[in-house]
Structure 1
């Protein structure tokens, strides 16, 4: 059942694309928000209005449009900071996505221009991730290890799809400089026990980063309460536009880090032989930023705040309970990840014996207008861990309904008939 305070039919009217009919008069059943969410009219109209009435570059111009643009852009930073409980608005760095945010932090380690001991990295030092990470939280750390001679290690994953912390004290040790794990898995739906890992990181002096791309859109995330050092997330999964992401970091760490990109806006003064840098956040925002996208993200934050993240989370929990039960009735279907809704989000990845996920996704789309994701979801090591090449993934958001889950299940029964 859908949460009583939550009017999903009213919410659906806020998203123009959800009323679209696909070729052949099929209604759109969009179950791929884990990949990218749809956009409400508020976000679309806010971005359009800025382009039509207020657009100019930010931070440079003294004219009216310049000041309006700068005010809207910096206003979006204020909104994002409030949304994630950042103690200081200047701790919010706008990037182009969560991938860039993670790369920005990885770049700070072992950097010859850096002087802070916490970011010194070389042979003998260790970087710790997990086996359930998205490639964007694996590859930057692999590159860092190659660059510095440090060693990359990882937490394994249990058969149930949880983080295996049995070796926590051995894996997270005095040699660990940074641990970076996902807050909520984009394949398993698992919500990881941040506090337990962080407590150990604090004992050893390691810094800790969270990839919160799949949690910030779906639950109230308070960076101060979490207590970690860095948090990355992205706009396009939280009803905002693509091309805008966020790095939140503790101010004193951001101040200690060398700049990631050099150019305009990130400088204080430039001579031919040297430069001094602007204070954070501008030190990390070289060049013309994604102005309209940042303003769109501010509107997305307004939209989600207006609905209430506690209600969003409850609605998705109800959908997850319903979805796990409904998929459980499809013969042979195997959920990859926790089979109960405890400490898990609304991302259901599964396999059906003898049928390739690409075939499943194709038939669901062609015959039923059901949009799901197929493949390894940029988490190939996790699929290798479970001995499978790919999964089909249905991911839910605030605008999904139990009727849409029923449509998915009907489609899966049809897929089995086709291949039966």
Structure 2
């Protein structure tokens, strides 16, 4: 740590414009021209990336004018402490923190932020959260959208929250506040909700939107770390995302605070989806691709039907039965008459028949050797539920009928091979009921 010649030591302090989680260094000033302590940012790179400090304040203008002051060491930029309205609170030297904090400690800092958030949701913030979730659900039912906005890291979190809302049944969209100031405010319609994310609550781009929102008839909701900030006080509803400290060694980079924002946004999206009665089937319709899409595919989407459906009549001889099973490559065939299901034959049934009757098995017909009580399923259940049934009953295929009963028309056959890419875990919905009369045989019998 650099110590200027005109002072004996450097101290590290915690500063906060109404919140205790932005830490910088403070050096007592010995120059007559400075009557207040001066803030020294220990990371020159951070100031280069964040030249406004707190945009629109006297501090940001002082930062811009700093170049006109007498030259100082290049790695240190000084600001009068009173301009930011901060009161210093001593803390451990940042170098010592960097040496002491392990990766696990950094994760624990963010975990602690989530525990603090959960504690607020269990207590004082529960009512506000419930009101906000109810409002989002009500607006969604009325055809309005939730538009999420933010700048910087908060903007990235806002994009994720908007995406989660959309995928769980709440109409939503991300709006960049900078683009909003140049025409994209047209995205907002009367009755929409604007969900604004800003930890400080003083983000300039967001504050410039405030005068316009009442004219548009938009309800403003905010996630803030300071409930007395400009954004929070201008909002109809504010949810607190304050954290006791960031995981960043210098308490500059948003880390624990953005984690809290993301968790709160996820909680809000899922709570609203429950209020909208968003079901797993609705989720499946919005996620047709990837592993999620395969898990949520329905029996109807994967079954073999039409010409691919193996079927024989009850009088079909054994040689033709074997030919049909080989041609359709499912290891089984249905036995039908006038569109009605009479039973099924599997390769396991044929093996047992040959072991028992030898060459005499070739003189039998389908009606004589079929299993008249196969396992059935309707076309609506998810593929993962069908897979669970197959594993439970140790079978390799299910016959799909219109309503899952033997008296309804046959629609197709679902084979175990069709489910290889489906995750073995079932959904939370109860497994579909299957209709059968007698328990099937073992060793592959359907």
Fold shared per TM-score above 0.5: no
Q: Which is higher, the Rg of structure 1 or of structure 2?
A: 2
Looking at both structures, which has the greater relative contact order when contacts are Cα pairs under 8 Å and sequence separation is at least 6?
Answer: 1
